[in-house]
Structure 1
Amino acid sequence: MQAKNTHTILIILAVVFTNCGFSQVYNTQVAAKIDMQQYGDVIQITGSAINKTSSSQSLRYILSVIKNNSSNSNNSNNKQRGRFVLDLGEKKNLSSTTINSKDKDRIIILLLVYDENDKLLGMERMVINGTEEDLKLEDAENEQKESLRNTSPDASEKEADGVVLRGVVIEETKTKPGRDFYKMFYSLYAANNVDGDEIVTVKEVLAINNNTKIEIFVATEKVVEFFIRPQDEYLKTMSEISIKRVYWFLQKIKQDKNLKKYY
């Protein structure tokens, strides 16, 4: 977005908490980039990707625009997907969408870029009309980056080329019961300070007889699967079971990485 337009919207880079321990580093091989331009009352959002490697890459992307209405708790999620190839050193625009700059809802813009094996390589996240919590996340990220520069030259050099992400939970639900489950699950995730090294995805998919089911992935591994029922008690029980399985799987990944590093 041009500099003269920066005062019209609040954009917060909320790349969550950084920690160089065993976290996955993104944007080192393929960088995801969100560009914004304002034309009158319309903001145009363009997602792009940059190949930082010396070979061509076969990739896919998801560009999500998630709108949170604080007054009635309604959420909308507009997604654009596609596959593409990047030559070495190439930057390519992937998809564009527009929003109204007068909209006062909190809007999250998320671009994810995966390789052909569904490994997440690039990510960028922006928030428009961010909350106080978004500001805290930005401050936490800046403090952690400064700490890395002062304590570990190798880590800060590594981070300069990429982004370290922790505690990311992505929602891909379709129905109200699905969204209700996600809210219960994420509430437990936050309350228990899970803060996992891998991205957790809560996905709702179509099942038999027009029913839907929840699938929860840690990175690319499916760790939970069950059919949705609209009863609150059932969703509460399944969220408690799910958070335990997700936490166990995240711990297993961490232990495996520790063993690999030791040997």
Structure 2
Amino acid sequence: MYKTRLHSLPLFFLLLLLPCIALSQIYNTEVEANINIEQHGNSYSITSSAVNKTVSNQSLHYVLSVIKNQDNNSNTSKNDQSGRFVLEIGEKKNLSTTTITVNDNERVIVLLLIYDDEDTPLGMDRKVINATEEDLALQKRDSIERERAVNLSPDISTKPVDGVMISGIVTEDTKTKPGRDFYKLFDQKYRLNNINGAEVVTIKEVLSLNNTTKIEILVANEKVLEFFVRPQIEFLKQMADIAIRKVYWFLHQYNERKHTQKYY
């Protein structure tokens, strides 16, 4: 629910400096905050969202602030919307959608902050409507810093094939019904968690001793996990959960290594 307050000029200038303050800390590495703004005349639709980039579920809360300032008025009005939410591994979730009207003489800052249960800020995004040249310069600098220091998410495709970027591919090479059941469970969780990795994930079933089989999970042709197949569905569900965490963490580290090699 929105609350409206009046704030003094010093606070407004503090908000102007937020991009510079943010660059001195590493936000968006564990949980990434995003603001999307669509314009329709003088109306602006604002959607806030968050992405979990860790290998565990996250219990979080957010504050979305809309700060308005008019050219002929030193006071600012600030509307806050807040809420609690949970993100599963690799999940992207929309947090709120609101529409505001902005006049030509109004400058509006939209700020999204995401905190953990201990009120530690993990994610931040900031957009400006009717931005000044200084705003645009700060946003450009912030975008560069995000690209260099933050963009480690495994859902970003980096491998072009025939000029087309592909991602989120899970291939199957199974031999038994339990093997196929595991593949279906894994593939479903992979899609639901929105992991969408740039590297191909392969579910491979191989023969073992005493007429048993093993499942091997490969990412970019590297073995991430293997286990002996058992037909019980609860066992396969448990292994699918473990495999999702292993694959997500591998993709995160794999992209981090590629990112480090790119810039260093």
Q: Normalised by the size of structure 1, how large is the TM-score?
A: 0.46
Higher RCO (C-alpha 8 Å, min separation 6): 1
**What is the TM-score of this pair, normalised by structure 2?**
0.46
- Structure showing greater radius of gyration is 2
